[in-house]
Amino acid sequence: MEVSVADAGPLRKTVTIIYTKDEIEAREADKIAQYSSQLNLKGFRKGKTPKGLVKKRYGKAIQNEIADELIQSGMRQAMQENELDPIGPFADEDRSIDNGLTYKTSFDIKPSFELPEPESIEVTKEETEVTDEELQEELDGFAKRGGDHQELTADDKLAKDDSITLSGKITSGDETVREIHDLNHLLGGYPLFGKEPDEIVELAEKISVGEALEFDTTLPERFKPEEWAEKEANISVTVQSATRMQPATIDDEFAKRMGVENLEELNDRVRQSIEQRKQQSVRQKQVEEMTDALIEATDFELPENLFNGMLDENIQGAEQAKEQNENAPDVDKDEITKNTEKFLRRHLIIDAIISKYNIQAQRQDLDQQLMMAAFQSGRKVEDIEKEITQNGQINQILHEIVEAKAIEFMLSKILGEDEAAAEAEHVEEEVEETADAE
């Protein structure tokens, strides 16, 4: 076997593998003998099928099988001896088994670069302690959602978030565009016949149930009948009825309705929930800052073919989205190029973190993902695992787990959390030793 590796451009290699005719024929003879000993063809005892018949019937399949095995062997040797780290698709340029085997393929390789030291990267550190004001705002939201709708009277002025029922008509000049009967509307929730929510609220705050709400507007694009869409019109409606949500009283009884024993426990639960959300928000911000800082601190060339392939795919995707939906964002090739480059750099940096710190997915990591998926879907863990294994998704899931672990690992080192954890563990051990001594 002869294996050669040549440069095919920056960060691109070409591997050529050549096996002689004698090597192929020797492997073919062994493979035919193996088939002959295992086949059970009609008219012959098992293991006694003539080799000539085997070659006649299965010669092409045997040749392809031999080629696959030898190519895999040659590629492993090429990768190991030349320390190649491929990325992206392989482009097969030649594969022939006439008078021996010749295989030639090209591929991009990962760039080599040094990751910055974690202590050189800065990210925002924010407090996630929950204030009394934040707690009260959350409780007020619960009380509002858990309250009761009360009918408003002619003595009550309308206000934002009131639910009103309208009847009247829409006119344009002397023509009646549409009769309105029992139309429900949430004040401030969304536009009304092209009028913005805050403008409707401003008009409604001056009137009560039984009074008229009148204004001029430009009817919306999707108005029915279609011939009146985007035309000037006058809206004249009467507020037939209105209801307002009266918040529930926040007390022990309300706490029990929320599934806890008393108001004190409810406060604790809500405070913990807010703090978790704040921690998640801060963590996400820190990850974004870390990623941007790592990209800024590392300078390396991108694999050209891989980048161009990704860029073409992203541009085509944006163009197809625009064709299918005219309201989709315009195709901005400069922006797509910028985002594609950032995505690929991020991917390569995370890959470098995985390699440098030998980050791997453990069985418990996969089990945790499976249990989460089972909880969300109501299915059995074993059924989900069987499905993702059969459809080939398990490797992708394991890769996503490793990437997430790499991001969390690097961020923990930047924030010094691993050192803090080690210090806390050391203190705990000292306490235990002291207790044992006593």
CATH number (domain holding residue 164):
3.10.50.40
Q: Which of 29-43, 241-255, 326-340 has the lowest mean pLDDT?
A: 29-43
Which band of pLDDT confidence, cut at 50, 70 and 90, is reported for residue 434? very low
- Does the residue 279 lie in any domain? yes
* pLDDT given at position 97: 86
pLDDT in tens, 405-426: 999 999 999 999 865 445 544 4
- Does the residue 347 lie in any domain? no
Which band of pLDDT confidence, cut at 50, 70 and 90, is reported for residue 431? very low
My answer on whether 190 and 208 are in the same domain is yes
- Does the residue 328 lie in any domain? no
> How many domains does the structure of the chain reveal?
4
* pLDDT given at position 43: 65
Burial 307-337 (b: 16+ CB within 10 A, else e): beebbeebbeebeeeeeeeeeeeebeeeebe
My answer on whether 376 and 423 are in the same domain is yes
* pTM > 0.75: yes or no: no
- Does the residue 317 lie in any domain? no
Distance CA 393, CA 373 (A): 14
My answer on whether 136 and 268 are in the same domain is yes
Which band of pLDDT confidence, cut at 50, 70 and 90, is reported for residue 362? very high
Which band of pLDDT confidence, cut at 50, 70 and 90, is reported for residue 54? confident
Tell whether the model's pLDDT for residue 326 goes beyond 90: no
- Does the residue 275 lie in any domain? yes
325 phi and psi angles, rounded to 5 deg: -145, 110
Tell me what the mean pLDDT of segment 238-245 comes to. Answer: 96
Tell me what the mean pLDDT of segment 370-379 comes to. Answer: 91
Average model confidence (pLDDT) across the chain: 91
Tokens 């993702």 correspond to what residue? Answer: 388
My answer on whether 21 and 59 are in the same domain is yes
**With contact defined as beta carbons under 8 Å apart, do 133 and 57 qualify?**
no
- Does the residue 337 lie in any domain? no
My answer on whether 171 and 202 are in the same domain is yes
- Does the residue 306 lie in any domain? no
Residue 46 belongs to what domain range? 2-109
pLDDT in tens, 12-41: 999 999 999 999 989 888 888 887 777 766
Tell whether the model's pLDDT for residue 51 goes beyond 80: no
My answer on whether 241 and 175 are in the same domain is yes
Tell me what the mean pLDDT of segment 311-317 comes to. Answer: 97
**With contact defined as beta carbons under 8 Å apart, do 76 and 17 qualify?**
no
pLDDT in tens, 133-144: 999 999 999 998
My answer on whether 102 and 159 are in the same domain is no
- Does the residue 96 lie in any domain? yes
